[in-house]
Structure 1
């Protein structure tokens, strides 16, 4: 039996981070986004007011935290506080991109752990649950004392490449850096390919080498965060130098900070595939980039959360991706 939405009402609100994605999530329920007003004073302070009642309502608050990341996080914290004071029953934060997750440990003495700091801020503000997509490292979930659901983009990319018949022995899935091996292995299992790694030397812009056989094969690089594009562009050159036939790439979160557009367009990457987890200006988009939407996936996740159904089918998505 389905949930009675009159007995368990919900509303979906969007802040300024990624309203188009929020609209896709709301479309899963056939509802419009909730009404709120966001303005910024001349000194940079942010003011938010909720323009409709949320008393006793389960609220799902969508906010991507790409650039300007600090403004978007302040919007999120202020809105959570407003919802708490307006007596929302639950405040479920939907973070398509969890910024500050890259610093999840102290690599050197006296460094902050910003991933933990953000978790503390969200909880102290009043969030009761977090739904996110492809965390930089899955252990970030452990920084929270509230439920956290971390969805994966690999099934979405697998569907994209399977639709183009890019599977089997003629293809290699590549991690463009050592830290992304698990992500590459996951996509490789979906596509039935072998695996390779580009070991890049951070201290030397020209240093690095390919681990694995890529000669005469088409490579598909996979990463989570595409910021300036330097990592992918450099790895693509190493792959071509190692004899790769063609190089493709995909990334979960396209931040596209300058000079990403120029680096990707002038690289050996034939096509770059990204999700719409981050909203960026069109003039920053490389001409060889394609989008696939994570809206339906995140909308389905909101629905199973609200209906108290198992989340596990969304982590795999075999039937949905490959029907």
Structure 2
């Protein structure tokens, strides 16, 4: 078996811009070119996915970069088939880099005769040959326990904290971090601690998925700059209603920091027409044309963090060090200025 000289990256079609950015950042860190493995991921006329790897990967440490975002089923199958192709090509180790982990909302049985799809996806990945998973802001932390392999779950909150400290540096004392529901309090509290801000909660009651029956605010948001933080935004209905409610309770401004901009259906139009000043998301999901064109939506890069995490995994060093702002500040040096 040949010696492993460099980590090797391969990407599916879900988020090629992010994969390219990760490769570029790794090249900067290594001082030598780290490119994406030459491969093709195509479809037959009936929609079947076909993968062909054109480079020798025998004995190599492979990192497959693929978000399982819309179309979730196609992107998940691409990931599984790429993994199978690498395993059958004698790759030494296969790490699935999944910036956005789809099906994560189905992490438990909420009613009788419903699936736990997140567990099913975990089983499929392991069976395909994935030996390690690197992801960011899982919808439910317990999903890490669905795997019998190592799972590294990165957090966007240190990046958000760096951005907030720069954008609101003259008004940081006016910031109030807001969780859009009780279930997201731990995530909001984490960001609040990083920027030394108070915490408020929007309590909502759902009649059925995607619809909110009643909302109220827990905490005093009067004359505050409210920053709503959550892991994902799908149709943006709840987010926009929460922004209106916060203004009704006396908030001065409302901004939102969301890890994964799913932004399906009427989401972009709702955000454009909303009372929010802006929505900040990461590039874990490739931005569609409407998202890129929306003046209220701003995208923060995750490539520096993922590139460093991949290098740490390859080197056998700590990934949890990336949870700290002090570690990320040098990696993102200069990005938040100006």
TM-score (ref. length: structure 2): 0.91
Secondary structure in structure 2 of the residue aligned to 1:29: helix
Q: Is 2:299 aligned against 1:291?
A: yes
Is the Cα contact below 8 Å between 1:200 and 1:235 reproduced in 2?
no
- Report the CA distance between 1:283 and its aligned residue: 2.0
Is the Cα contact below 8 Å between 2:212 and 2:238 reproduced in 1?
no
Secondary structure in structure 2 of the residue aligned to 1:127: coil
Aligned residue number for residue 42 of structure 1: 45
Alignment of 1:79-98 (within 5 A): 79-98=82-101
User: Aligned pair count?
Assistant: 319
Name which of 213, 216, 229 aligns with 2:223.
Answer: 216
Structure 1 Cα separation of the partners of residues 215 and 263 of structure 2: 24
Aligned residue number for residue 153 of structure 1: 156
Structure 1 Cα separation of the partners of residues 240 and 213 of structure 2: 12
Aligned residue number for residue 312 of structure 2: 304
Cα RMSD over matched residues? 1.6
Q: Is 2:6 aligned against 1:26?
A: no
Aligned residue number for residue 58 of structure 1: 61
Aligned residue number for residue 234 of structure 1: 241
Aligned residue number for residue 76 of structure 2: 73
Q: Is 2:256 aligned against 1:249?
A: yes
CA pair 108-205 structure 1, distance change in 2 beyond 3 A: closer
Aligned residue number for residue 314 of structure 1: 322
- Report the CA distance between 1:41 and its aligned residue: 1.3
Is the Cα contact below 8 Å between 2:279 and 2:297 reproduced in 1?
yes
Secondary structure in structure 2 of the residue aligned to 1:202: strand
Return 5+ residue gaps in structure 1 as ranges.
none
Return 5+ residue gaps in structure 2 as ranges.
28-33, 334-338
Is the Cα contact below 8 Å between 2:177 and 2:191 reproduced in 1?
yes
Aligned residue number for residue 281 of structure 1: 288
CA pair 283-63 structure 1, distance change in 2 beyond 3 A: same
Secondary structure in structure 1 of the residue aligned to 2:206: coil
Is the Cα contact below 8 Å between 1:249 and 1:269 reproduced in 2?
yes
1:119-168 deviation per Cα after TM superposition (whole angstroms, max 9, x unaligned): 00000000011000010111100000111100000000000000123564
Q: Is 2:20 aligned against 1:12?
A: no
Structure 1 Cα separation of the partners of residues 215 and 178 of structure 2: 14
- Report the CA distance between 1:265 and its aligned residue: 1.0
TM-score (ref. length: structure 1): 0.95
Aligned residue number for residue 173 of structure 1: 177
Secondary structure in structure 2 of the residue aligned to 1:196: strand
Structure 1 Cα separation of the partners of residues 26 and 89 of structure 2: 23
Q: Is 2:113 aligned against 1:105?
A: no
Aligned residue number for residue 194 of structure 2: 190
CA pair 221-142 structure 1, distance change in 2 beyond 3 A: same
- Report the CA distance between 1:281 and its aligned residue: 1.5
Secondary structure in structure 1 of the residue aligned to 2:17: helix
